[in-house]
Amino acid sequence: MTTQAPIWRATVLTLFPEMFPGPLGVSLAGRALGSGLWELEARDIRASATDRHRSVDDTPAGGGPGMVLRADILAAAIDAAEVGPERPRLLMSPRGRPLTQVRVAELAQGPGPLIVCGRFEGVDQRVIDGRGLEEVSIGDYVLSGGEIAALALIDACVRLLPGVMGKEASGAEESFSEGLLEYPQYTRPQLFEGVPIPQVLISGDHAKVAAWRRAESEALTAARRPDLWAQVPGKVPNRASRQKTPKNKTDG
Ligand code: SAH
């Protein structure tokens, strides 16, 4: 007996379903969507509105600017989506845990998430608690809605799904895959504005190329992202000195 794994599916709750698939309808993700490697369902939160004006938001309790997505409307929209308990329920939110490649890989390996896109000043806390929404941030800046954040999250997941990237392996060597940033890339022409491709890369010596790339990755990570570098196991301690980095304050 063969058990077919269910197709990875993103269910998005939004006030702007017309924003989907948007950029996910082209290139890698779009071709994969077209060939059924993943599925996307964009559901209109407004379909769960109950009054004549189909209103979904109201003024914040306690006062202040803006509007808040109503708990009853959003809860009804979540319930109507009928996602099983095995699927993660995410709320895009600047207060959330910052999205990482590790979390993206987890989400890509699962059945695919329900994603709630906030708008206005955000959503009523009771629906976050009552429906067990996991708040996810895509960075320390504020967007006007969760849709672009959801598109970013889905894009990052979809490219990791089996069969989506041309070469299965190409996800394994890129930025963050080992907690490091990616090494510099080069292609033709051999000489560009007087600058040649580094000799080692055209040497044909695969071991030397691998060693050079590893060293470049480590140096870049140490220089640009000390937060990531601090987490890398088995690193060469003073790799940071290979690149111009801010002076270590404890030196001298
Ligand atoms: N008043 C809120 C911001 C609301 S922005 C606050 O200060 O925290 C409106 C919506 O955009 C949010 O509900 C969220 O869904 C989305 N959003 C904004 N910035 C985001 C970010 N960095 N990551 C993920 N979602 C974000």
- Residues 155-171 have a mean pLDDT of 85
Phi–psi pair at 23, nearest 5 degrees: -65, -15
Distance CA(222)–CA(217), nearest Å, equals: 9
Q: What is the pTM of this model?
A: 0.91
Q: For residue 88, give the nearest of 150, 36, 141 by alpha carbon.
A: 150
- 139 CA closest ligand 1 atom index: 22
pLDDT: is 118 or 251 the higher one? 118
Task: Determine if the peptide bond prior to 189 is cis (ω within 30°).
Answer: yes
* Most ligand 1 atoms within 8 A of CB, residue of 117, 142, 148, 155 to mutate: 142
Whether the pLDDT of residue 244 is over 50: the answer is no
Per-domain boundaries in the chain = 8-158, 180-229
Q: Enumerate the β-bridge partners of residue 41.
A: 11
Separation between Cα atoms, residue 166 and residue 161, nearest integer Å: 11
- Nearest residue CA, atom 21 of ligand 1? 94
Residue 193 φ/ψ region, left for φ over 0, alpha for ψ in the -120 to 50 degree band, beta for the rest: left
Spell out the CATH class of 180-229: mainly alpha
Residue type, 65: P
Atom of ligand 1 nearest to the CA of 91: 15
Are the CB atoms for 135 and 95 separated by under 8 Å?
yes
| Whether pLDDT at 243 is above 70 | no
The pLDDT value recorded for residue 177 is 80
Which residue has its alpha carbon closest to ligand 1 atom 12? 118
% of the chain surpassing 90 pLDDT: 84
Question: 122 Cβ partners below 8 Å, 6+ apart?
Answer: 68, 69, 93
Distance in Å, CA 120 to ligand 1 centroid: 8
Residue that has been written with the tokens 């504005």 in this structure: 193
Give distance in angstroms: CA of 142 to centre of ligand 1.
5
- What pLDDT shows up at residue 166? 76
- Would you state the CATH architecture of domain 8-158? 3-Layer(aba) Sandwich (3.40)
Q: What is the 50 CA–ligand 1 centroid distance (Å)? A: 25
Determine the atom of ligand 1 nearest the C-alpha atom of 142.
19
Q: Are 76 and 130 in contact (CB under 8 A)?
A: no
Mutate to test the pocket of ligand 1, among 15, 90, 93 (most ligand atoms within 8 A of CB): 93
Residues with CB under 6 A from ligand 1: 92-95, 117-119, 121-122, 137-139, 141-143, 145-146, 149
Tens digit of each residue's pLDDT (9 = 90 or more) over 43-99? 999 999 999 999 999 999 999 999 999 999 999 999 999 999 999 999 999 999 999
Mean pLDDT of the chain: 92
Annotated binding site for S-adenosyl-L-methionine: 118, 138-143
pLDDT > 80? residue 251? no
Contacts of 123 (CB under 8 A, 6+ apart): 68, 69, 71, 74, 91, 116
